[in-house]
Amino acid sequence: MKKTILLLTTFTFSLLAFCQGNTVKQEVSKFEGLANTPPMGWNSWNTFETNIDEKLVKETADIMVASGMKSAGYTYIVLDDGWMTKERDSNGDLVPDPVKFPSGMKALVEYVHSKGLKFGLYNCAGTKTCAGYPGTRGYEYQDARFYANLNIDFLKYDWCNTEGINAKEAYATMSNALKKAGKPIVFSLCEWGDNQPWNWGKPIGNLWRISGDINPCFDCENNHGTWSSWGFMKIIEMRKDIRKFSGPDHWNDFDMMEVGNGMTFEEDKAHFAMWSMMASPLIAGNDFRKMSKETLSILTNKELIAVNQDKLGIQGFKYLDDDQLEVWVKPLSDGNWAITFLNRSEALKKVVFDWSKHIIKDTDFNLEFNTTAIVFKINDLWKNKAVGTTNTIFKSELASHDVITLKLTKVK
């Protein structure tokens, strides 16, 4: 009898705690080690929005392989919003749109896997996705089983129609659901930075968006009324100070790229260089079927990709802003460094950089770049060419919105 009363009390207490919400600590541990370097791939949203189908996915996968993107490191093909029908089925399961995907999602996943690539899907923590398809709220464990059965590898999880729910709890619940379903799936938080996911996302997900949506422009703000989309430099500027929260398997995600989506060649270069410098996931967002040679050359620049994928996984920082000629710096493994000169102005700029006058301190990670102590050889990663050492002053010219990215390697 005593035992029953005790049990009853415990039960009531737990229930009470549960009903009051947020008083029960939710233990969470994501699938570890799925993104030790920033994930690379393609996502449908920036170009196609909800106009997606299996032909597009297959052609994109084929080109990912044939164009050399796969060998450059791009792996994930992610279908964003719009892959479902507007209603769940009578069992409450999500339904891949049979008109867009007549062969079924399972067959499409298998097709992408057969190319040696990985497959991702999108959903939302709210009651509906941003485009009005069924959201996951209340179906977390059921949807996680659905994804595991499809054998997908990546889930982007958005934040529309969440009606005041607690972000950390919502993402933790889905993370736990994925873990329970058993199939290792990269968990990509897309919460736009509203609730500072960098403060709590590390045990929950492998990457987290840090801003509202990107726009294919250098520095613009595109105001949609209740929200804005942003030029890529705006996103960088907005979140340059949260670098210490990013690292292997827990990345600040600066959003899918807009390379090849209408900016100038110089701006596309700057965009790609900055995503590499910031150790952001490199998720292309252009139409591969119409990709120019220039776009492909930017997206597959192996040296820039190596900067992005450097195993130290440190997000770069702005060292200097000299009248809109900016100098961004990223510590690399083995004591090496990447440096990007970025011309933010509308005019041509002269770059004159005397290495000996710049002892650069990374106070977040306690590192120092000091050419008076160590000599570095310099490679220009866009020209793919050796350009001397830090014993001589670096001089060049830089067109408006263009970049020079250098890798500085310690001379032994």
Active site residues: 158, 213
SS3 for 343-396 is ECCCCCEEEEECHHHCCEEECCCCEEECCCCCCEEEEECCCCEEEEECCCCEEE
Closer residue to ligand GLA (CB): 252 or 343: 252
How many angstroms separate the CA atoms of 35 and 201, rounded? 14
H runs (alpha helix) in 231-362: 232-238, 265-277, 293-299, 302-308
**Residue found by looking up tokens 């889905």 in the block:** 174
How many angstroms separate the CA atoms of 192 and 130, rounded? 13
The backbone torsions φ and ψ at residue 24, rounded to the nearest 5 degrees and listed phi first, read -95, 125
Among 56, 94, 130, 257, binds ligand GLA (CB under 6 A): 130
Write down the least CB distance from residue 167 to ligand GLA, Å.
14
Q: Is 80 in the site for ligand GLA (CB under 6 A)?
A: yes
b/e 375-404 (16+ beta carbons within 10 angstroms → b): ebbbbbbbeeeeeebbeeebeeebebbbbb
Degrees to nearest 5, angle at CA 267 with 263 and 269: 120
Stretch that binds ligand GLA, among 124-132, 134-142, 267-275, 340-348 (CB under 6 A): 124-132
Q: Is 45 in the site for ligand GLA (CB under 6 A)?
A: yes
Q: Which residue is nearest to ligand GLA (CB)?
A: 130
Q: Is 190 in the site for ligand GLA (CB under 6 A)?
A: yes
Q: Is 267 in the site for ligand GLA (CB under 6 A)?
A: no
Write the interaction track for ligand GLA spanning residues 149-188; mark x where CB under 6 A is met and - where it is not: ---------x------------------------------
How many angstroms separate the CA atoms of 332 and 314, rounded? 7
Among 42, 73, 75, 81, binds ligand GLA (CB under 6 A): 81
Q: Is 253 in the site for ligand GLA (CB under 6 A)?
A: no
Stretch that binds ligand GLA, among 25-33, 95-103, 122-130, 272-280 (CB under 6 A): 122-130
Write down the least CB distance from residue 316 to ligand GLA, Å.
23
Stretch that binds ligand GLA, among 95-103, 126-134, 144-152, 334-342 (CB under 6 A): 126-134
Compute how many residues bind ligand GLA; rule: CB under 6 A. 10
Site residues for ligand GLA per CB under 6 A? 45, 80-81, 122, 129-131, 158, 190, 213
